[in-house]
Chains A and B, each alone.
Chain A
Amino acid sequence: MLCEKCGLKEATVKLVEVIDGRRKVLRLCEICAEEVALAIPQPLVTEGEPTETEAIFTPGEEEGGVQPQTKRIIRELVCPSCGLSYETFLKTMRFGCADCYKAFRENLEVLFKDLHGTATYRGQRYRRNRKAYRLLKEKAKLESQLEVFIAQEQFEKAAEIRDRIQEILKELGWESNP
């Protein structure tokens, strides 16, 4: 998602402006967020204290229109890809996308230590084998050709294709375990 102010950079910050209990949400890039925050004389509440939101909605403030105007800004951590805020993540305990892991990264160590006793991954390494995928695509194509040749009773050609399919399975190392 792009910054709502400049429209140029990725929005990595969610600013919640609270004026007399009304919330206005802005998704901004780091630079624009700084600018907006500086324009407001109230102390900036940083991402470490997202629960400040609750404190603002005290019944006294909402019911009584006579209180002096309050205006403050809450800065939240937001995933630039899917727009999920860290605050929402803490409530639902569900990430919104793979990039959330990067966006919330600094807070995750503690979370994972809490949940799993450690934050270190020790499992297998994944890397997609593109060559194997190309072989699979070729195999799929050969299989549809095979059907046609069999329907046309061109058995010699069909046999050739079957051989090539066997070769592919061998290359994939799948002959014995499809």
Chain B
Amino acid sequence: MGIQSLIEQTPAWLSGEGEYPELVISSRARLARNLRAFHFPSQLDEDERQRVLEIVRDRIRMIPLFQDATFVAVRDLSELDRQFLIERHLMTRDLLKYADTAGLIYTEDETISVLINEEDHLRIQVMASGLALREVFQRVLDIDRKLGLLWPYAFHPEFGYLTSCPTNTGLGLRLSILAHLPGIVLTKHVDPLLKTLVKRRVGIRGLYGEGSDFYGNIFQIYTQETLGVTEEELLERFQATVDEILESERKARKILTGKLKDVLMDRIERARATLEHARLISFDETAQLVSFLRLAVGLGYYLDLKIRTLNELLLFSQPAHIQKLFGQDLDPRERDQKRASYIRAKLQAEAHES
């Protein structure tokens, strides 16, 4: 599945399937791993990094799961394609640090991707739609067992898996969810949430990583422990924390649909009207408005709208996606115009269907 054809599909992890997709957009597990035979990427020269890239590219095909996966060398990617793959969560901005010797491999449904020569030699990630932590956890560890046959990993009996950053040392495992929490935001419960998460050693940030705004009330919530816990304990604790967060989101929604129902309905109807009729719209505004539609669907209103459609609206409204959809370099104003017409068409098609 080449990059050009990706634009024609919706990644499986945004399908709107799985548990509570109106609250949890997707779940993810990622591992940081290094090859024993090489220094970490930051201490390698270009030739050695190239060597790591080739070893991984060639050997990973021995695993049936990756036989038909797509390999991409970052240096062959245009600026637009790089941005596009970042928006699609198939690669990270950090992969551009050693762009000339970095690569990525992804499966056709986009649920699995392996980044080569990011901060570590390997970043292995598995994603799934909705709340599916145990599924992504098991899949990533299964892939890890297989990749660990292809080359010796850097592992120390006392410290576990050795990684470039000491925050990953040990399990090298991070579990995360993309959660949609408009209730907590609208009832002003974000600060207590942040305080609870700090105590649990759980991190939180916006859709686009460190320091980014909470676009569309979407939060990345992720584990930070890699020492002192087993894989299974990490999963169970995180699952419990996520359950609690979702419970407070549900409580907040009860408040919104109680006394404040007319205010909420007003915001929701205005959001839908704007998306259906706007002629120019930014990504920020799209994310904010789509959040109200997602909330509405979660509350049982708007039965004609599918979560999958809302996921698609968010994904394809991002700047590089809009440009890939319309096949050209667009300036910001043209993008706003194309975005608005894409959204109008999408919502109209959905209304027709139902």
Contact = CB atoms under 8 A, between A and B. Distances in A.
Q: Is the interface of A mostly helix, strand, loop or mixed?
A: loop
B278 to A, nearest CB: 45
B119 interface: yes
B162 interface: yes
B39 interface: yes
Contacts of A24: none
Interface in B273-323: none
Given A115-B167, A116-B170, A140-B62, A98 B34 contact: yes
Of A116, A121, A128, A136, most buried by chain B (CB within 10 Å of CB) is A121
Contacts of B229: 122-123
A8 interface: no
A168 B151 CA distance: 19
A178 B228 contact: no
A133 interface: yes
A97 B228 contact: no
A121 B154 CA distance: 14
Nearest to A129: B149
Contacts of A98: 34, 36, 40, 154, 156, 162
B149 A97 contact: no
A118 B64 CA distance: 38
B150 A133 contact: yes
B228 A118 contact: yes
A101 B162 contact: yes
Contacts of B220: none
Given A94-B42, A136-B149, A117 B64 contact: no
Nearest to B139: A177
Interface residues of A, number: 37
A124 B231 contact: yes
A97 B157 contact: no
Contacts of B154: 97-98
Categorize the interface residue count of chain B.
Answer: 35 or more
A148 interface: no
Nearest to B225: A116
Of A97, A133, A140, most buried by chain B (CB within 10 Å of CB) is A97
A116 B168 CA distance: 10
A125 interface: yes
Contacts of A95: 40, 162-166
A84 interface: yes
Given A116-B226, A117-B201, A132-B149, A94 B165 contact: yes
B36 A94 contact: no
A91 B171 CA distance: 24
Given A101-B162, A128-B153, A178-B64, 13 more contacts: A94-B165, A96-B42, A97-B40, A97-B43, A112-B159, A116-B201, A123-B160, A123-B229, A126-B155, A129-B148, A129-B149, A136-B62, A177-B142
Interface of B: 34, 36, 38-40, 42-43, 61-65, 119, 141-142, 148-167, 169-171, 173, 201, 225-231, 233
The list of the 7 closest CB pairs from A to B, nearest first, reads A178-B64, A118-B228, A121-B160, A97-B39, A96-B43, A98-B154, A116-B227
11 contacts: A97-B38, A97-B154, A98-B40, A98-B156, A101-B162, A112-B166, A121-B156, A128-B148, A140-B62, A177-B142, A178-B64
Interface of A: 81-84, 93-98, 101, 108, 111-112, 115-126, 128-129, 132-133, 136-137, 139-140, 174, 177-178
